[in-house]
Amino acid sequence: MTVRVRFAPSPTGMFHVGGARSALQNWIFAKQQGGVFVLRVEDTDAARNKPEWTEGILSALEWIGIARDTYEGPYFQSAYAGEHRAAAGRLHDAGRAYYCDCTREAVQARTGSQYQGYDGFCRDRGLPPGEGRALRFRTPDEGTTVVVDLIRGEPTFENKLIEDFVIARGDGSPVFLLANVVDDMTMGITHVIRAEEHLPNTPKQQLLWDALGVKPPVWAHVPVVVNEKRQKLSKRRDKVALEAYRDEGYLAAAMRNYLMLLGWAPSGDREIVPWSVIEEEFRLAEVNPSPAFFDEKKLRAFNGEYIRALPVDEFVAACRPWLTGTGTIAPPPWQPEEFDADAFAAVAPLAQTRIAVLSEIVPNVDFLFLADPLIDEAAWAKAMKEGAAELLDAAVAGYTALESWDAESLKSTLEAVGAERGLKLGKAQAPVRVAVTGRTVGLPLFESLEVLGRERTLARLRAARLRLV
């Protein structure tokens, strides 16, 4: 039997990193099993869905390595409404579901306000369908439902503790629990790999599979993803959108490797491994069922390592969207015509070892492209202390006389200027750096000046000197 898995996102917002993790796990599992990965967009919540969220999911999946030609679909759940209703009808006709007109208030008046479930009042009333009548599944009174879960063993649920749950609303529309099962059946899904938050739905869903007479899938509930406070990552509190990480300059290769480490690790105490190793070694059954900590600091460090490992020309190409402000990425502070690709290529190797996310390239190189540097006033105040004006004068004099404009000569000249004033190079550098780049930290100074060129460097030193008058 061919393995068929699915990833079934609801297009109700940005694409959650936890979702991306589940998608990758499904995709690798399918690949390992020679199976099929199905993408199903669960778009039945018309009030919350937007087509652009769907497009966002597809392109985010593509970015992370799940290309559109490697899966079946996307199917859209809304196209299967007829199947959902037909299944509800079959369950009713077989006596496995019944109509109910109880309001929550009526149930609570009978049971007490603490009780959240349903007391079975309408079970044997034989109500016909009608406006406002929900359809409830008649759960078995006895026995247990055993879920086979590749990660969690065999969670067992007492049927008598499972309430008669709603499968279609008062307006006849099937609810998630049923639509999701019917689609999995229609699409021949053999393994349902999804987030742990759906585990409580699983006994109910498995009862539906049984009642509809189809062998249920094997389940795998992958761990919930939590923040440093052990809270489930939430879009209101945490940075959860895969797109946000992409736009900040995380590399897809780093991101997907990191996502796969949530609850699992490759052999030999390694974390950074080629994707092919992950594809080969990943075992769903080895995924740790406990909550997985999404450690943004670790991800940053991880990304920095991936950036440093890039060949320089790939690094240069990878930075391009931040240098030009392409697509969803904010434009840089300089005008497009001020950008100089050769100057950037010259400093790129210096920047490559210093940044953890690609967006950090902008403040590191803006001094090269802006007509005037963006002066950070706090940096200015710190660097332009007593003696700064004289030091800048001496630097201008030394640099004007310089024969060869190269980093080595720029450095030895400033070293000499500093020495005359009893200053170590670091101290002598500070006013020059702020005058030229506007900041106290940045790329190695003398290489930066070499690339910036004689004229622009001298103009900036003079401009800073004038400010000190």
Positions marked catalytic: 235
Nearer to ligand GLU, 136 or 194 (CB): 194
Q: Are 112 and 136 in contact (CB under 8 A)?
A: no
Cβ 216 to ligand GLU shortest distance, Å: 13
Between 10 and 359, whose beta carbon lies closer to ligand GLU? Answer: 10
Taking CB atoms within 8 Å and a gap of at least 24, the contacts of 23-26 are 23/61, 23/64, 23/66, 24/64, 24/65, 24/66, 24/256, 24/259, 24/260, 25/193, 25/220, 25/222, 25/260, 25/282, 25/284, 25/287, 26/193
Omega prior to 74 cis, within 30 of 0: yes
Q: State the virtual CA torsion across 356, 358, 362, 365 in degrees, nearest 10.
A: 70
Plot region of 143 (φ>0 → left; ψ -120 to 50 → alpha; else → beta) = left
Closest to ligand GLU by CB, 137 or 334: 137
- Minimum distance of ligand GLU from residue 9's CB (angstroms): 5
3-state secondary structure of 37: strand
Give the CB-nearest residue to ligand GLU.
Answer: 194
Binding residues for ligand GLU (CB under 6 A): 8-10, 42, 180, 194, 198
3-state secondary structure of 170: coil
Q: Which amino acid is at 313?
A: D
- Closest CB to ligand GLU among 184 and 447? 184
Report how far apart the first and last C-alpha atoms of the chain are (Å, whole number).
Answer: 83
In the complex, least distance from residue 3 CB atom to ligand GLU, rounded to whole angstroms: 16
CB of 176: closest distance to ligand GLU in angstroms?
A: 7
Would you say 177 or 299 has its CB closer to ligand GLU? Answer: 177
- Helix (H, G, I), strand (E, B), or coil: what is residue 360? helix
**Dist CA 315 CA 301 (whole Å):** 17
Q: How far is the CB of 201 from ligand GLU (least distance, A)?
A: 8
Per-position b or e across 406-420, b if 16+ CB within 10 A of its CB: eeebbbebbbebbee
Q: Residue 9 or 438: which CB sits closer to ligand GLU?
A: 9
